[in-house]
Structure 1
Amino acid sequence: MNAGVSFDKSKNSLSRHRSVWEMRSESWIGLVDDLSRLVALPPDHPERQSRLTHIGELIAALAPIESYWAFPGGRVFADLCSWIERGELARAHQTARRIHRVLVARTYRHEASSLEGDGELPSQIETESERQAQLSRPYFEVLIVDEMSASEEAALRRRVQRKRHAEDEFIFDIVIVPSFEDALIATLVNFNLQAVVIRHGFPFRSIYSDDMLRRFLDGVQDGIETIPEFERGPLLGRQIARLRPELDLYLVTDMKVEDIAATAGEVFKRIFFGEEDHVELYGAIMQGVGERYHTPFFDALRDYAKQPTGVFHALPLARGKAILNSSWIGDLSQFYGMNLFMAETSATSGGLDSLLDPVGPLKIAQEHAARAFGARRTYFATNGTSTCNKIVVQALVRPDDIVLVDRNCHKSHHYGLVLAGAQVAYLDSYPLDQYSMYGAVPIRHIKQQLLSFKRAGTLDRVRMVLLTNCTFDGIVYDVERVMLECLAIKPDLVFLWDEAWFAFARCHPVYRPRTAMATAARLAEMFKDPAYAKHYEEFSASVDWDDEEALLERRLIPDPDKVRIRAYATHSTHKTLTALRQGSMIHVWDQDFRDKAEEAFHEAYMTHTSTSPNYQILASLDVGRRQVELEGYELVQRQLELAMNLRDQVQAHPLLKRYFRFLAVGDLVPLQHRESGVESYFNEDTGWNNFELAWRTDEFALDPTRATLAIGATGLDGDTFKNKELMDKYGIQINKTSRNTVLFMTNIGSTRSAVAYLIEVLVKIARDLDRRAADMSSIERRIHAKKVRSLTLEHPPLPDFSSFHRAFRGDNLASNTQTRNGDIRSAFFLSYDDSNCEYVNMMEASRAIQAGRELVSALFVIPYPPGFPILVPGQVISMEILQFMSALDVHEIHGYRPDLGFRIFSEEALARTEERTLAKTTVIQAQQEAMQS
């Protein structure tokens, strides 16, 4: 009996899904469910035909997707389709059910499961033996790009299977695709891929026309179809390397391998001629994955822990002796396990290494990390990114160098600039008054400041631009544009990108182009291209460098003969990737590192790095790097989908959307900074296309994995909602709040269960709010309405940076041209002497400012939330700042004492300091004029 199912491959009615991975998962669930119901239905049941039609749609949706995975594979999937077409629905249901169970449990990775028979497959919670099997022989897949017949594919699979050995460290299966487009789609669809073998000669076009799959081809350059087949292999390799740089690429060709190796050798790990070295190809694939799997320091520490060692050194805790010999602290080992203490040591020998002078496994581990994150050099840190930031600032900034810095950056930068003695020019981010938070610094504002220093004749002293990418709230810069336009004004400018919350971005092809390391490498290649030199000549002939307004209006590009790429990024690896607390990294892409920074960097590293670093933290950084290279893309994509699902669930729930709303990019990035015009990153008509378009084109993008929830309609402020509702009642931890928002951050460890629990909690809170509202008296309702109105409509305007007082303006004090830089170091230490300071409360401060007195802060003043400095040492207190402080309904304000008020400098201290500063500046200027004459 024929089931009457037709599989229409020309269209897909399941476009409501956010992604191909969600479509795959839900299609298998739907297929199993429909087949189960069909088996139970009598032949003449009216529901039967609609079920068959839906099955046809599901099969049509799955067919192209399954062609990019090794399991269940083309043959098994074709068998399933044929059984459905022939009406063998019971057999088809059993097979589909078993395939789905294996996919969910992922047991295909480490056991050969039969797809026929009545036995139950393992559940998603694997047995210990299965888990150990996966640990002992991890599984991956190899993409082979070649146009083959079915018999040729079968022969190749048999040949691969015959090469497997019991002693192999890994096991792999193969996926064969016939075209250039299929190879690109498979690279982005299949998380299991670790290597790609590109063989000689294949067509360009894919036979599939599915819109959801073809979106992966957006951005592929035009004209590739006209390129001869023998040239497509190297070009495909370059495209894949751009999308997934962690994959090992191999080229098998019948052309002159020597010539190809000379022109495309940097893309491919190895190039083979025809079939003469297929044994070596197998070995090369295994070795390539092994290089990324190898964790030199973690392995060395694990081996050390196994050695019988006599400890006559520091650390009574080493080898667990202080615990094993104790009658009172045995519960410590019971809680943590003995391996933690067996690996505890202060030794740098015995197979280990020194963080301060690495020459062995730690040195190799840092080199592997540089490869993983696209850096020229990488340094590990066990004191968190706060220390990393201070290291970079101290290494690159000399006393009186000028640094342009976002005022809302992490406090470690402010303190690092104090220690370095820098002249600080604070930049203003665009304000989001309605949410009591700042966004990021527009490029126009940065250019304005650089041009003001040029006009003042002090551009040569501008050393660095320091920006946070991405911000706590998920605002991400167009790093390439910032670097290009700034370098056009000052070609040797150094960039420090604080990517504490953005370490994961390297793993994903949409995020990666907006990272510091990827941008630095891309710009270095761009500036070597003769086409860019020609482009610059045309630009240079059309630009008037004396017309500042014109320079602010147009996009600037730097002179390739003068520009130097000097970029640093700091990562809180422990915040968004797998590492123990305080595990961080410094990544360096600096063309002048050896000549201008290496010695100073090592001294700064020595200054701030402990001589007793925690080896467990270092080992976790090594293992976290392995995860980035082998499964980072999969984990970040899963994180992204969970975040989008969370947003959708709240938006669609009738009760939740009365009280809550997740902010979209249109809320957090003003339209003038969104060239794409995109208001929301996902909709049912275009899927994810808006997300990818905005990230390619906009000055600022929003990281969707940071979900900012507006809660003003609840009548609760962010701090209360965080502590009283989420944490105290339901045990949900969050980090950041503002006056009327709370921030939920997904990460690579987030799960669907965790998202489901959060939605459940929000529903409970919403129902509780409904109950409270129903029980309110008329007076309570008026009070509640006033609170809601305050949180949703009455927004205190966020103040910009006012100015530094003249006493801390340095060379600007005697200059006719005003620039924003000031000396926070002298102000910071001047406040140490109580005789230089006094206190004024809010009311006294307001009266004094109205009477004409300049009040100058002696401390950093940081309300939390929102958590950014309203005042820094040496800054003039403005009425706008007082108004904002008065409107804040938070109790935790660092640097402000409710009993005393603001700590400010006395008028006498300011006068003395201003006199000394002016005298010093006058002498320096006289010396400079004498030298010039």
Structure 2
Amino acid sequence: MKKPISRILLINDEKLILKEFTKGLNAAAKSMENPLGIVFSGVTTAQEALQSIEQDGDIQGLVVDDRLYTLKHQGKHVRDLQMTALELVQKITHFRPELNIYILVAQEQEDEVVDALFSETVDGYFYREERDYRGMYRILNAQLQEKARTPFYDQLKHYVLMAKDAWHTPGHSSGDSLRDSPWVSDFYEFIGEHIFRADLSVSVPMLDSLMDPAGVIAEAQKIAAQAFGARRTFFATNGTSTANKVIFQTLLAPGNKLLLDRNCHKSVHHGVVLSGAHPVYLDSSVNKKFNIYGPVPKQTLFKAIEEHSDAQALILTNCTYDGLRYDLPPIIAAAHAKGIKVIIDEAWYGFARFHPAFRPTALEAGADYATQSTHKVLSAFSQSSMIHVNDPDFNEHLFRENFNMHTSTSPQYSMIASLDVARKQAMLEGYKLLSRTLELAQEIRAQINSTGVFQVLELPDLLPDEIKHDGIQLDPTKVTVDILRCGFTVEELIRELFERFNIQVEKSTFNTITLLLTIGTTRSKVSRLYDALMRISRENRAPQRLYQTAEIPRFTELKYLPRDAFYCGGELMPLLDEQDKVNSSLNGRVCADQITPYPPGIPVLVPGQVITQAITQYLISMLRSQKHIEVHGIVFDGYLPCLRLLTNSEEKTLKQLDK
């Protein structure tokens, strides 16, 4: 097992004092218990310190002299102030908020320095005159060990190693039901012994309860909140889909108005049904050349906030599946000015806190709630997610009731442990791993472009015209590649990469593929991808004419609350008439289901929405497309595709929404 290196940086402008402190602290580290590999190094200027934390991902903390001077030679030595501790702490915290910072202070200046740094993220103070190196080391070591602690995972591992006989759920009883079976022991061997021994239940009190945490789960969530910059953090084992629904049901009572990006994940739209909210759907921007859907235009958002100042909440997806990032601060400020709570679905952006290239995060931009798919972009197991809360009006009791409504009473404990571990890794080596990921993203872009056939789409290529001046940025870990000149259809290319080169891509449109780089991306994988694309490009296949899927029609009219429409029985009506043509009888009728082509996953219809001929034609074009597209929500009566619609009698019982 590799041993960690944890570098503590000392910053003091007096070289002799710096040398003495560095030597004394390193001697203490060598003579005392040092499981995290703590070593001390020093610099004499604030600028060197900032360069060091940018270049060295192993730096875990800093000891900063309260006043940094520089000597100038002008006939005599004159001490000029380089930078106050306050200024340097602010710069360090802005760049890498996960670092521990201690201040070295003269005793007589203690009150002045502490007052100046009262509102800053400072972990403690040391007196310059004391020279208690062992005492300083103990404190720095303890603080770092606290960050490295994984309360739930540690307790889970401890319990498994206690080897208790299981007279409780689950039924496999630590894997004993599978281990010696002639039929299924191969599953036990494939999955591994510890996954079964760690698959426990609420029957084990020392492992706490996800539904009412008061022990190690509560501790793990508290440390996660500190890591991600939240007031409160909650672990979710049903994915971000459930996390979104929990927040909706906490904030929204039936009939409450909600502003939402129509491009939001389908769980958001399901949350509208469950909460009984009155949604105001905002059309996304669209890049018509590549069929890529982007953020809602800023002016559309500002207009909606003004026109619907009675809205309870606004939800947006940041970043989008393709990596497009909103300029969040002004949008959130506009919403808060009207008393509107802001929820940001950060499913694809849960790592952003740990590298300045990706910030501000939703919480740093002022959001009240952020949901993150920790499993998508950090090292947690699938379905493991987090809910972060910064809402000053947070109703914990109501949140807990809704959380428990959706959470299994038998959560998978290995998933909870993986959230604990993913947080630890992000905190202690997230900056280092993300720096590597950014380097690899830059390399793979250059390599793909060098093929002369495949072309990486950069921000100007991806931006729809209507948001070109909205301050949108691109997450470079999402790499979208134009395949138009490669001679394959997108389905053929994906199959070629999979079957011939053992490469699986994240997603595609009719003329692009998207590659997702994570903290687990390696240079070897980058080399293999480059080799595959270069080999394909050298085959000089003639470009094919690719079938472009139609643009999703703009949102029409919401006639009834989605929940009211969804819970009606409805009737089935075919999309095609007896002559296999568009069924004109659908025009003006109201849909009872959510109809979502995937990709791109944007609902064409939601419950309560009025159907138009353009929508019907679009759905038929999806079903007849040469490119296979799933259309969720269509009901097949034999081979005949149908929609579930409200009946005339059902419509008479529902309250129509104001236009």
Q: Report the identity percentage.
A: 35
Instruction: Tell me the SS of whatever aligns to 1:305.
Output: helix
Residues 433 and 796 of structure 1 are in contact (CA less than 8 Å); yes or no, is this contact kept in structure 2? no
- Counterpart of 2:50 in structure 1 is 184
Report the Cα offset of residue 316 of structure 1: 3.3
Report the Cα offset of residue 348 of structure 1: 4.8
- Looking at structure 2, the residues matched to 246 and 730 of structure 1 have their Cα atoms a distance apart, in angstroms, of 39
Residues 395 and 604 of structure 1 are in contact (CA less than 8 Å); yes or no, is this contact kept in structure 2? yes
Whether 1:657 aligns to 2:452 is yes
Change beyond 3 A, Cα 1:712–1:862? farther
Change beyond 3 A, Cα 1:615–1:627? same
- Looking at structure 2, the residues matched to 450 and 606 of structure 1 have their Cα atoms a distance apart, in angstroms, of 32
- Counterpart of 2:5 in structure 1 is 139
- Looking at structure 1, the residues matched to 179 and 141 of structure 2 have their Cα atoms a distance apart, in angstroms, of 42
Report the Cα offset of residue 846 of structure 1: 6.9
Change beyond 3 A, Cα 1:366–1:200? closer
In the alignment, residue 312 of structure 2 is paired with which amino acid?
Answer: R
- Looking at structure 1, the residues matched to 291 and 363 of structure 2 have their Cα atoms a distance apart, in angstroms, of 31
- Counterpart of 1:332 in structure 2 is 187
Instruction: Tell me the SS of whatever aligns to 1:612.
Output: coil
Structure 2 gap segments, 5+ residues each: 73-77
- 1:172 corresponds to which of 38, 45, 55: 38
- Counterpart of 2:364 in structure 1 is 518
Whether 1:465 aligns to 2:314 is yes
Report the Cα offset of residue 200 of structure 1: 4.2
Using structure 1 for the length normalisation, give the TM-score. 0.65
Residues 265 and 601 of structure 2 are in contact (CA less than 8 Å); yes or no, is this contact kept in structure 1? no
Change beyond 3 A, Cα 1:754–1:409? same
Change beyond 3 A, Cα 1:641–1:426? same
In the alignment, residue 465 of structure 1 is paired with which amino acid?
Answer: L
Residues 579 and 620 of structure 1 are in contact (CA less than 8 Å); yes or no, is this contact kept in structure 2? yes
Report the Cα offset of residue 335 of structure 1: 2.4
Change beyond 3 A, Cα 1:699–1:872? same
Change beyond 3 A, Cα 1:641–1:154? same
- Counterpart of 2:84 in structure 1 is 232
- 1:901 corresponds to which of 623, 641, 647: 641
Structure 1 gap segments, 5+ residues each: 1-130, 207-225, 454-458, 521-565, 676-697, 774-783, 809-822, 923-933
- Counterpart of 2:324 in structure 1 is 475
- 1:837 corresponds to which of 561, 568, 572: 572
- Counterpart of 1:53 in structure 2 is none
The correspondence of residues 127-526 of structure 1 with structure 2, limited to 5 A, is 131=1, 134=3, 138-149=4-15, 154-163=19-28, 164-203=30-69, 229=81, 232-254=84-106, 255-265=108-118, 266-276=120-130, 277-349=132-204, 351-453=206-308, 459-460=309-310, 462-488=311-337, 490=338, 492-513=339-360, 515-520=361-366
- Counterpart of 2:517 in structure 1 is 746
Change beyond 3 A, Cα 1:435–1:279? same
Report the Cα offset of residue 873 of structure 1: 2.4
Change beyond 3 A, Cα 1:846–1:480? farther
- Looking at structure 2, the residues matched to 752 and 626 of structure 1 have their Cα atoms a distance apart, in angstroms, of 24
Residues 776-810 of structure 1 deviation map (CA, whole Å, 9 limit, x = unaligned)? xxxxxxxx65x24x55xxx7444211222x4x2xx
- Looking at structure 2, the residues matched to 436 and 672 of structure 1 have their Cα atoms a distance apart, in angstroms, of 14
Report the Cα offset of residue 325 of structure 1: 5.0
- Counterpart of 1:44 in structure 2 is none
- Looking at structure 2, the residues matched to 843 and 469 of structure 1 have their Cα atoms a distance apart, in angstroms, of 45
Instruction: Tell me the SS of whatever aligns to 1:143.
Output: strand
Report the Cα offset of residue 197 of structure 1: 0.7
Change beyond 3 A, Cα 1:640–1:436? same
- Looking at structure 2, the residues matched to 764 and 854 of structure 1 have their Cα atoms a distance apart, in angstroms, of 52
Instruction: Tell me the SS of whatever aligns to 1:657.
Output: coil
Report the Cα offset of residue 614 of structure 1: 0.7
In the alignment, residue 456 of structure 2 is paired with which amino acid?
Answer: F
- Counterpart of 2:388 in structure 1 is 587
Instruction: Tell me the SS of whatever aligns to 1:518.
Output: coil
Report the Cα offset of residue 350 of structure 1: 5.3
Report the Cα offset of residue 152 of structure 1: 5.3
- Looking at structure 1, the residues matched to 493 and 531 of structure 2 have their Cα atoms a distance apart, in angstroms, of 16
- 1:576 corresponds to which of 377, 382, 407: 377
Report the Cα offset of residue 634 of structure 1: 0.9
- Counterpart of 2:460 in structure 1 is 666
- Counterpart of 2:75 in structure 1 is none
Report the Cα offset of residue 270 of structure 1: 0.8
Residues 429 and 442 of structure 1 are in contact (CA less than 8 Å); yes or no, is this contact kept in structure 2? yes
- Counterpart of 2:564 in structure 1 is 826
Change beyond 3 A, Cα 1:854–1:715? farther
Instruction: Tell me the SS of whatever aligns to 1:249.
Output: strand
Residues 317-345 of structure 1 deviation map (CA, whole Å, 9 limit, x = unaligned)? 23332234544433334323322222222
Report the Cα offset of residue 487 of structure 1: 2.3
- Counterpart of 1:212 in structure 2 is none
Residues 587 and 611 of structure 2 are in contact (CA less than 8 Å); yes or no, is this contact kept in structure 1? no
Change beyond 3 A, Cα 1:921–1:375? closer
Residues 718-758 of structure 1 deviation map (CA, whole Å, 9 limit, x = unaligned)? 34432x22223322112321121111010000001101111
- Counterpart of 1:550 in structure 2 is none
Instruction: Tell me the SS of whatever aligns to 2:23.
Output: helix
Report the Cα offset of residue 139 of structure 1: 1.7
Instruction: Tell me the SS of whatever aligns to 1:517.
Output: coil
In the alignment, residue 6 of structure 2 is paired with which amino acid?
Answer: F
- Looking at structure 2, the residues matched to 481 and 376 of structure 1 have their Cα atoms a distance apart, in angstroms, of 22
| Greater C-alpha radius of gyration | 1
Whose helix fraction is larger, Structure 1's or Structure 2's?
A: 1
Report the Cα offset of residue 154 of structure 1: 4.7
The correspondence of residues 551-570 of structure 1 with structure 2, limited to 5 A, is 567-570=368-371
Residues 739 and 865 of structure 1 are in contact (CA less than 8 Å); yes or no, is this contact kept in structure 2? no
Aligned-CA RMSD value: 2.7
- Looking at structure 2, the residues matched to 264 and 845 of structure 1 have their Cα atoms a distance apart, in angstroms, of 74
Whether 1:728 aligns to 2:499 is yes
